[in-house]
């Protein structure tokens, strides 16, 4: 334990290890953090807090990719021809086909790595067992050139909490309600989560790779738990696989 120079309070060892790691990032190591959870579980909020702790990180949100590719002149407009046939269904709560979103995400990630980023924080990816399997395959391809560390976090909230937070956004003056906060869209997204994402999370849990964080609490407590989990996961299965080949 060390003392914080500003508050003269002990810094917990797990947090101290994160600080030291981020002061001296290893350019030969790629760190992928996947944050899953029901709609309105706080994935984007926690990702944006985590990204501030890393000197070489960026958030990759499949929601942002979809919105940026929904128009030809959007941030990800070059993918518009791929997703245009599915825009209406996705806006109503469905997912993009696995092969399309996986190929787009891989290309986006490769571009960021080529630009020098070494920590990628995903929100809402992977979402299905098929996406998880393909994700693991391209992590193996990255292992040809890097050590690879991967972590999976799940922000656990009940369906009632998801519905409540969507209701709050729709009913709060001055807060811009999202299209996916409409009741019928929330119901559809929750059904898709049950049918497609929960089986993937159960698979990860059985394999011992999923860290579950109770997320019906304040933002700071959730973030503190994420810090602890990530500081403990120094030797992920993917890193060990890489080391065993040396």
Residue 181 and residue 170: Cα distance in Å, rounded? 7
Strands 119-123 and 29-37: parallel
At 130-139, the pLDDT tens digits run 999 999 998 9
Residue 198 and residue 207: Cα distance in Å, rounded? 14
Residue 168 and residue 76: Cα distance in Å, rounded? 30
The 10 Å Cβ neighbour count of residue 118 is: 20
pLDDT of residue 245: 34
pTM of the predicted protein model:
0.80
Collect the ranges in the chain with pLDDT lower than 70: 1-27, 174-178, 233-246
Residue matched to tokens 């994420």 = 226
The 10 Å Cβ neighbour count of residue 230 is: 22
Task: Indicate the helix (H) or strand (E) that contains 164.
Answer: helix 159-171
Gyration radius from the chain CA atoms: 18
Q: Burial code of 10-24, b = ≥16 C-beta within 10 A, e = fewer?
A: ebeeebebbeebeee
CB 42 within 8 A of CB 219: yes
Residue matched to tokens 């101290």 = 16
């Amino acid at each position: 334990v060390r003392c914080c120079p500003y508050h003269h309070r002990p810094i917990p060892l797990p947090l101290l290890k994160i600080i030291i790691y981020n002061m001296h990032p290893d350019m030969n190591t790629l760190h992928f953090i996947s944050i899953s959870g029901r709609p309105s579980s706080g994935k984007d909020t926690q990702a944006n807090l985590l990204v501030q702790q890393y000197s070489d990180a960026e958030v990759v949100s499949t929601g942002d990719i979809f919105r940026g590719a929904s128009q030809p002149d959007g941030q990800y407009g070059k993918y518009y021809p791929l997703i245009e046939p599915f825009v209406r269904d996705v806006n109503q709560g469905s997912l993009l086909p696995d092969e399309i979103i996986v190929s787009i995400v891989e290309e986006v990630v490769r571009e960021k790595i080529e630009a020098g980023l070494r920590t990628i924080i995903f929100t809402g990816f992977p979402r299905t067992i098929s996406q998880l399997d393909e994700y693991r395959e391209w992590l193996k391809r990255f292992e040809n050139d890097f050590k690879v560390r991967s972590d999976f976090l799940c922000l656990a909230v009940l369906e009632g909490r998801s519905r409540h937070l969507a209701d709050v956004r729709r009913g709060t003056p001055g807060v811009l309600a999202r299209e996916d906060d409409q009741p019928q869209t929330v119901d559809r997204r929750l059904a898709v989560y049950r049918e497609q994402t929960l089986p993937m999370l159960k698979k990860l849990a059985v394999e011992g790779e999923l860290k579950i964080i109770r997320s019906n609490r304040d933002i700071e407590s959730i973030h503190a738990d994420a810090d602890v989990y990530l500081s403990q996961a120094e030797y992920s299965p993917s890193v060990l696989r890489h080391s065993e080949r040396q």
